[in-house]
Chains A and B, each alone.
Chain A
Amino acid sequence: MYSALRWPGRVGALWRALIWVRSTGLLVLALQRVSHRYLLHRAQRGWSAETLVLRILIALARRSIAILTKCDVAELVDVGQGVYLSDRGFLILGPERIGGGTLIHERVTIGVRAGDPGRPVIGENVWIGPDCIIYGNVSVGNGATVLPGSVVSMNVPAGAVISGNPATIVRRGFDNTALRRTLGTDIVRPSMVLE
């Protein structure tokens, strides 16, 4: 799944190993899954010598990955299957849930509004462009497209395209399957989407 998402058409053990070494987004995602599982495990078992040692190991790993990639994905985030995080880093993510098939580019912030504990919920198959901010107690619907540089603090309906700062809905019922296949390797201009 991941290798197909990262570099389509390149399969095999060698390519897979290279992807694991080179792809910082995949490292961040793997560590987030481990620490999320640890959080659930600790909620069941409570504190013990084992969970304390794991806590220290995970904290050290998180700090080194943070310095390496400038990414911080909160432990409590429930990340779905087949999520793509950009390899260019600078991601600060703290939503409640990221749905499967979502694609997140570099320099994206998703988090709480200051002084309000409500966290955003990101649906499935969402395309989030670079330099986006999504904050507050909002939900982004399935298949939505958040164009680069958007600042979103309102609910986004499913299949909508939003753009601007502050963001507005520029189109409804857009199918972003082709857009998600580009994987950030191509430059996506708003005019390409709004045609």
Chain B
Amino acid sequence: MSGIWDAVLADLHRCVSESETSKRRVLSTVWNEMGLQAVLLYRFGQWLCASWKRILLWPVLPFGWVMYALGALVVRRGYGIRLSLSADIGPGFWVGHFGGVEVVNCRLGERCSVGQQTKVGSAQDVEGPLVGNGVWIGAHARIMGPVRVGNGATIAPGARVTKNVPERALVVGDPGRVVFRGYDNTQILPRA
């Protein structure tokens, strides 16, 4: 429970910096950022999964699942963002614009960012991608199948990752190739 709340705060602080957090600022950010709404809904789904073990909550949980299903429908059909509960997304996740985002059956580390039209995942019965901490995934990028992406790597817009990516590497192109090692992406990660 507390772990999920920490994750929610980390997600929020990717959009609002910690120094300027106020109630009004947080509300306007949640209204403006469609990606943040999708991430918050995903955390709600995670909380529902985790609270299965608490018997006192059983009478409330069906309503929670109905709410989650409705919200997921709106986010998926309206915004075009699909954050499946089969994906394990670490705290501090950030979705840049909206439309065509699919994160399914994979593991993402802390402070990851994805842009629009990004596909991360694999089929349900296959091992999915394993993405490290602080990875920046640009717009239209695709990470499919059982690949590993190291900590602090940067996937350029439009890249298609087919092989394992070392730490702090910059991947460009289709098929993706490492053009630069030791690339520092903390400048482009928003508030990481």
Contact = CB atoms under 8 A, between A and B. Distances in A.
Interface of A: 66-67, 70, 72, 89-90, 92, 107, 109, 111, 114-115, 131, 133, 135, 149, 151, 165-166
A109 B188 contact: no
A105 to B, nearest CB: 13
A69 B98 CA distance: 11
A92 B78 contact: no
Contact of A114 (B34, B99, B136, B158): B136
B98 A66 contact: yes
Contacts of A107: 100, 117, 140
A72 B35 CA distance: 13
Contacts of B138: 114
A165 B91 CA distance: 32
A68 to B, nearest CB: 8
A166 B173 CA distance: 5
B97 A72 contact: yes
A72 B99 CA distance: 10
Interface in B78-96: 78-80
Nearest to A135: B157
B2 interface: no
A67 B78 contact: yes
Given A114-B138, A115-B187, A92 B99 contact: yes
B105 interface: no
Given A70-B99, A92-B97, A133 B139 contact: yes
A67 B99 contact: no
